[in-house]
Structure 1
Amino acid sequence: MELQQLRYVVAVAETNSFTRAAERCLVVQSALSHQIARLERELGARLFERTSRRVRLTPAGAAFLPAARQCLDAAERAAAEVAAAVGEVRGRLALGTIPTVTAVDLPRALREFRGRYPHVRISLRVGGSDDLVAQVKEGTLDVAFLGLPTTARLDGVASCELLRDRLLAVVAPDHPLAGEPSVTLRRLAGEVFVDLPAGTAGRAQSDLAFAAAGLVRDVAFEVTTADFIGRLVEQGLGVAMLPAAYAPQLTGVVTVEVADAAARVEHVTWSASGPTPAATAFLDVLGITR
């Protein structure tokens, strides 16, 4: 079994095509097909079902794929560790972030990092805190920026608290609350809400606050991004609660202080087994000690 064979398997699985996989791997399709067939003979099982219309993983292939990715990641990290030992940072840096991160100016940090370490390949994913933590645990992400309720616990990863913030009410300019200096959760409970999907860490920050106050609210619109929440609020479809530090990025809406506001904490997290050389260098750029 060779690393190149594993790369071919992952490429076919991700593209669902031998042709596109060969293009990605910069190899002729016949060579790629030959190497996968050779690997299948060695394993004694077919990894892909091939028809004239599609390619898909067999049950054996689905079982093999995660281990193949882990082997490739381990090989890449081994090469990066050797490079770091002789004073060079290279390899990959896979970052994840929530849309509302404010504790770090991520574009500026990436610019500085790229200037120092031009040989590192960087990817950035935006998502919810729960998904990002899971990806750090499985090694898909090297570093992730999260926003969580103050009661949340981070298990199975290393982390550092970056910022404590509070939630503000966000309303349309012509909303009756727009001219108020502050509002309470009880007053807000009578409004229709726009919020993140139920079960997400961002949604939990508001849900826990209302539940602790013994209040029930109506969330009529669930969307996955904070900027789209603001756009729906601007149209008068509901009110929302968003982080105070994120509020200056909103346009077309009015923010109102919440006297008994929910709190949130922004964290940066990385693998419990220790950051990769590239992740270590990126955390150093941010001034984060481990």
Structure 2
Amino acid sequence: MRDLDLTTLRLLVAVLDQQNMARVAEQSHIAASAISKRIAQLESNLGVRLLVRTRRGVQATPAGLALAEHARTILFAAERIETDVTAFAGGIKGNVRILATPSAMAESLLEDISSFMREPQNSQIKVDIEECLTNELLRNMREGSTAIGVCWNHSDLGELQQLPYRKDRLALAVHRDHPLASHESIRYEDTLDYEHVGMRPDSAVVIMMQRAAARIGRPVRYRVLVSNFDAAFRVVSANLAVGIIPIEISTLYASASQVKMIPLEDDWAQREFSICFRNLEALAVPAQRLVEHLARNGLQARQPASTAALNT
């Protein structure tokens, strides 16, 4: 098969989105016959029909739908390449890609990155941030497809280097009318009589909960499964279930007055996050600067207030 032409792929996606070749031709300032010829050549190269004409306009065949899905991915990647490379011409001195777990993203990481980019010496550094679960993060780190990751330090980092970042503490989120709301602190074991709200089974919080329940030989009963902490708070606020959530995140939901946060007494409830990378010295200078900034902010956050004040 010949190399795929980006212009043809872009026109194909546009035709499928609008189901009207004439409209796409007008918007693209190209003759409809030229678009038809390009797509016909693509069909010939691939040996499969991609489009059919119906009374409702142009429709994709199953092969056309499959190609369109891949085409969107290719076009997105091409746009990112163009943006990243041409950014250097505008004076940006470096680009850093960082992956982070949902807990890290929901807490202080975004604020720390924002403060990094506000510093005058970093004004020409671009930082791309992507959220993913720990297993995916570590796989990307080991494959070298990203420079920096932020995740729970109990993860198996293997040969990756790390620096300590911030700490958080898991707590039980309950509705203020819930029977457990009278507690000021609680053991995780004592929450297992009640139904929980759970998140993805491969998320760090759920893995910790499952391990803790297994150690005491009791199951976790889930009433609701959600994909993020915001949804978990909504479930608790509706008094449908209780949830295990980092207490640092609860400050973002102060308006949810019906929710009470009760710190867990278990040792494992105190977590620490790490900044991980393959080799600090091998990182590009912009990435090194970001790692040092995050580590410094994390150190200040871990120090007692009086000690941190002396270092400012």
How big is the shift at 1:163?
2.9
Greater helix fraction, Structure 1 or Structure 2: 2
2:264 to 248, 258, 262: 258
SS state of the match for residue 165, structure 1? strand
**Counterparts of 1:62 and 1:49, CA distance in 2:** 12
Tell me which residue corresponds to 1:164: 167
Tell me which residue corresponds to 2:109: 104
1:73 to 73, 77, 94: 77
8 Å Cα contact 2:134-2:204 kept in structure 1: yes
Q: 1:124 to 1:83 in 2, by over 3 A?
A: closer
What are the within-5 Å matches in structure 2 for residues 53-72 of structure 1?
Answer: 55-56=59-60, 58-59=62-63, 62=66, 66=70, 69=73
8 Å Cα contact 2:197-2:243 kept in structure 1: yes
How big is the shift at 1:234?
2.0
8 Å Cα contact 2:99-2:150 kept in structure 1: no
- State the identity as a percent: 17
Q: 1:163 to 1:215 in 2, by over 3 A?
A: farther
Q: Which amino acid aligns with 1:109?
A: S
What are the within-5 Å matches in structure 2 for residues 41-56 of structure 1?
Answer: 41=44, 43-46=45-48, 48-52=50-54, 55-56=59-60
Q: Which amino acid aligns with 2:48?
A: R
Q: CA RMSD in A?
A: 5.1
**Counterparts of 1:28 and 1:192, CA distance in 2:** 60
Tell me which residue corresponds to 1:37: 40
**Counterparts of 2:278 and 2:50, CA distance in 1:** 32
Tell me which residue corresponds to 1:238: 241
**Counterparts of 2:106 and 2:87, CA distance in 1:** 32
**Counterparts of 1:7 and 1:21, CA distance in 2:** 14
**Counterparts of 1:94 and 1:21, CA distance in 2:** 40
8 Å Cα contact 2:96-2:286 kept in structure 1: no
Structure having the higher Rg: 2
8 Å Cα contact 1:189-1:218 kept in structure 2: yes
Q: 1:242 to 1:29 in 2, by over 3 A?
A: farther
The C-alpha deviation readout for 1:21-40, integer Å capped at 9, x for no partner, is 948x8455724443233333
For these two proteins, the number of residue pairs brought into alignment is 276
Deviates more, 1:198-207 or 1:250-259: 198-207
What are the within-5 Å matches in structure 2 for residues 121-270 of structure 1?
Answer: 129=133, 133=137, 148=152, 150-153=153-156, 162-250=165-253, 251-252=256-257, 253-260=259-266, 261-264=268-271, 266=273
Q: Which amino acid aligns with 1:259?
A: E
**Counterparts of 1:200 and 1:134, CA distance in 2:** 13
8 Å Cα contact 2:96-2:287 kept in structure 1: no
TM-score normalised by the chain length of structure 1: 0.66
8 Å Cα contact 1:80-1:90 kept in structure 2: no
8 Å Cα contact 1:129-1:146 kept in structure 2: no
Q: 1:164 to 1:12 in 2, by over 3 A?
A: farther
8 Å Cα contact 2:184-2:262 kept in structure 1: yes
Deviates more, 1:95-104 or 1:151-160: 151-160
Deviates more, 1:51-60 or 1:175-184: 51-60
**Counterparts of 2:7 and 2:136, CA distance in 1:** 29
**Counterparts of 2:139 and 2:21, CA distance in 1:** 29
8 Å Cα contact 2:133-2:202 kept in structure 1: no
Tell me which residue corresponds to 2:304: none
Q: Which amino acid aligns with 1:50?
A: V
Q: Which amino acid aligns with 2:106?
A: V
Q: 1:210 to 1:7 in 2, by over 3 A?
A: same
How big is the shift at 1:159?
7.8
TM-score normalised by the chain length of structure 2: 0.62
For structure 2, the 5+ residue unaligned runs are: 296-312
